[in-house]
Amino acid sequence: MNRPGTKAKASPAIDGGDADWPRQKAALLRDSVGVGVAVGALGLSFGALAVLAGFSVAQSCVLSLLMFSGASQFAVIGVLGAGGSPFAGAATAGLLGVRNSLYGLALSRVLRVRGARRALAAHLVLDESSGMAMGRPTERASRLAFWATGTAVFVFWNAATFAGAVGAEALPDPAALGLDVASPAAFTALLMPRLRGPRLWVLAGAAAVTALATTLVLPAGVPVLVAGFVACSAGLLTRRRRGGGDVPGDAGDDAVRHAAQERSGTPEKVEAAGTVETVEAVKAVGERDAERDVERGTARKRDAERHGDT
């Protein structure tokens, strides 16, 4: 609590750290451009693979402009290039894009956009832009990280798509370069960083085995949907058996618990971290503090009475 007559000192975590903001802004912009360049390199392979799958340069570019979701785009050209139906390609792309809606729910509280800007923000919700935005110390930094990263990825991805498509179309026989293995390699590169813990490895293995087994009997594109359904169902079942949480003893759970115990906030804030034990501990501390305040107040009252008697 502030003393009477004094001004409250602004906290850098609350006001955004105005003094240090130029340096933070420069670092965020530099990192965003770096992410855009890295993702753009993958766009080269997409453009080439799209042409190899039968798309024209214009169709490849329109797909990147309007869909703008790397994994979903690779799924579309993979299914259609293998002879699958447009429905199977669209369903596979939609299944892979579900995670973006979850990102959007988390980012909506930070971006706070409406109207046309909301539609534009939804188009820029990606793994990269969401990852750069989440975990920033201030909302201003989160918003800048999201918009800068999303814009950088959009520009470099579409430019790389055009370059890759034009390059592949100019080659007399692009299939001779073995570009057909680039799509599975790209999917593997996207998947590997997300396989954290043995449970996720088992789910990924089960999905791969399911896809390979059903490829022999189902039309192109459908095995991916079946494998995705099996993986999602197995993940939900194991999660329910574990009480709705991830693998017990994960480092992430320990980190959350430790952070909650370190906080000096209210029990409601600690409870938001999902740590019931910490909530009880904070409540106990609050009760002890209240008892001490009562004891101190009683002691002061006795002292005052004594002084009054004398």
pLDDT at 251: 40
* Block residue for tokens 């988390």: 106
Which tens digit of pLDDT belongs to each residue from 37-90? 988 888 888 898 898 888 999 999 999 999 998 888 888 888 888 787 888 888
DSSP 310: -
Q: What is the full DSSP assignment across 258-302?
A: HHHHH--S-HHHHHHTT-HHHHHHHHHHHHHHHHHHHHHHHHHHH
What are the C-alpha distances in Å from 136 to residues 143, 259, 277? 9, 16, 27
pLDDT for 49 equals: 87
The separation between the first and the last C-alpha atoms of the chain, rounded to the nearest angstrom, is 35
- Contact predicate 81/181, CB 8 Å: no
For residues 121 and 111, is the Cβ–Cβ distance under 8 A? Answer: yes
Write down the pLDDT at residue 89: 82
Amino acid type, 239: R
pLDDT of residue 9: 46
Question: pLDDT value at position 124?
Answer: 94
The stretches in the chain having pLDDT less than 50 are 1-16, 244-283, 285
Token couple for 36: 């855009």
